[in-house]
Amino acid sequence: MNPDEIVREFCAAWGRADLDHIMNAFSENAVYHNIPMAPCEGKAAIKGFIESFLGSNPDGIDFVIKHQISKGNLVFNERVDTLTVADKRVSLPVCGVFEIDDEGKVSAWRDYFDMAAFTGS
């Protein structure tokens, strides 16, 4: 698969709450950074964060990609993530940036979003 396809499959796995697929997409030393928060560095830290996120969303989190573009191993997408936060469904506009390594793994993932929209404040 090319980087564009890898990211599309990765985003689809969130809607299935497929933790194994999500985690298999990352390289061992990957960095996942929700820009308003501290980054998660390494697969173990990333898994802990994602498990807690999916724990609040056992039916998955819908990632609806509005636009996606890739150049080389860099993929940008504009999407709307729909998830449960404090027992409320929230649709969150997100811009995601993914770096795919030579083995086809996500080595870096940065999501940019408005924290106030996430928390409902």
pLDDT value at residue 19:
95
Q: How many residues does the chain have?
A: 121
pLDDT value at residue 52:
87
Whether residue 93 lies inside any domain: the answer is yes
Q: How many domains does the chain have?
A: 1
Whether residue 81 lies inside any domain: the answer is yes
Whether residue 61 lies inside any domain: the answer is yes
pLDDT value at residue 57:
78
Q: Which domain holds residue 13?
A: 3-108
Whether residue 13 lies inside any domain: the answer is yes
pLDDT value at residue 120:
57
pLDDT value at residue 11:
97
Whether residue 35 lies inside any domain: the answer is yes
pLDDT value at residue 117:
61
pLDDT value at residue 36:
81
Q: Are 24 and 10 in contact (CB under 8 A)?
A: no
Q: What is the 3-state secondary structure (H, E, C) of the chain?
A: CCHHHHHHHHHHHHHCCCHHHHHHCEEEEEEEEECCCCCEECHHHHHHHHHHHHHCCCCCCEEEEEEEEEECCEEEEEEEEEEEECCEEEEEEEEEEEEECCCCCEEEEEEECCHHHHHCC
CATH number at residue 80: 3.10.450.50
pLDDT per residue of the chain (121 residues) written in tens, 0 to 9:
999 999 999 999 999 999 999 999 999 999 999 998 899 999 999 999 999 888 887 888 999 999 999 999 999 999 999 987 777 788 899 999 999 999 999 999 999 997 666 555 4
